[in-house]
Amino acid sequence: MGSLTLPNLLVVDFTKENMKPGSSDWTLACKNIKHALEQHGCFVALYDKVSSELHKAVFNAADELFDLPTETKAWELTMLQPLEELKVSLSSCGLMGMTLSEPSFWVRDKSRDGEWIDVEFPPSSFVVMAGDACQAWSNDRVLSPKHRVTMDKNGKDTRYTIALFSFLSKNIEVPKELIDDENPLQFKPFGHVDLLNFYATDHGRRSQNILKDFCGV
């Protein structure tokens, strides 16, 4: 078996020797991932090619960065909205996103049925999440999940997350294969950059359904 299911969230082991395109493990994993993205918008990927030494070095570097004097950090200016004014999660912006977190912290993911699911990071794991663009491309089959971070019970430790996003330079549109009488077209074609720009508008920041407001049919 190339994957196993923890309570309510899929874990796919990409470290298995037989996890290659065309194998039975790969086919089963694809089927399970499709179901996980439709129901939860994410899954946990086990991948041991990122060493524990590199993992520790990255988060140690983050400590060093945030420990810099205030006057040093003030040299870097940004034109982005202050964090507290952004209502849209940054990890919703991409087509797909991968999140690396420290194992002592948890992510809570909101599934399609509205329930919050606690997601614990096993060693050598990433959480792979679908973004809004992926939900639009899939004609609303894939879920772009709402998610939040929970701290340890004492709330004393610093928590870092590193995310990698994927973006498309071409227009995004629903494939004809995903449109039928039971699943009519939900979204018009759009440019990914245009969606990102819409997030920063007043309308985008107030939106309760960013995709419907931006490109809904």
Q: Does some domain include residue 144? A: yes
Q: Is residue 95 one of the residues assigned to a domain?
A: yes
Q: What is the pLDDT of residue 199?
A: 87
Asked, for residue 175, whether it belongs to a domain, the answer is no
| Residue 121 placed within a domain | yes
Identify whether 55 is part of a domain.
Answer: yes
Number of domains into which the chain is organized: 1
Contacts of 120 (CB under 8 A, 6+ apart): 103, 106
For residue 47, what pLDDT is reported? 86
Q: Residue 198 domain-assigned?
A: no
Identity (one letter) of the amino acid at 103?
Answer: P
pLDDT tens, N- to C-terminus, the chain (217 residues) = 455 444 467 899 998 888 989 999 999 999 999 999 998 888 989 888 888 888 888 888 888 888 888 888 777 655 555 544 434 444 455 566 666 555 444 455 556 777 777 777 777 788 888 989 999 999 999 998 887 776 666 666 677 777 778 878 889 999 999 999 999 999 999 998 899 889 889 998 899 899 999 999 9
The answer to the question of residue 197 being in a domain is: no
Residue 187 lies in a domain: no
Q: What is the pTM of this model?
A: 0.75
Residue 92 belongs to domain spanning: 3-169
Number of H helices, E strands in the chain: 7, 11
Domain of 34: which CATH number?
A: 2.60.120.330
Q: What is the pLDDT of residue 154?
A: 67
In sequence order, the β-bridge partners of residue 106 are 120, 150
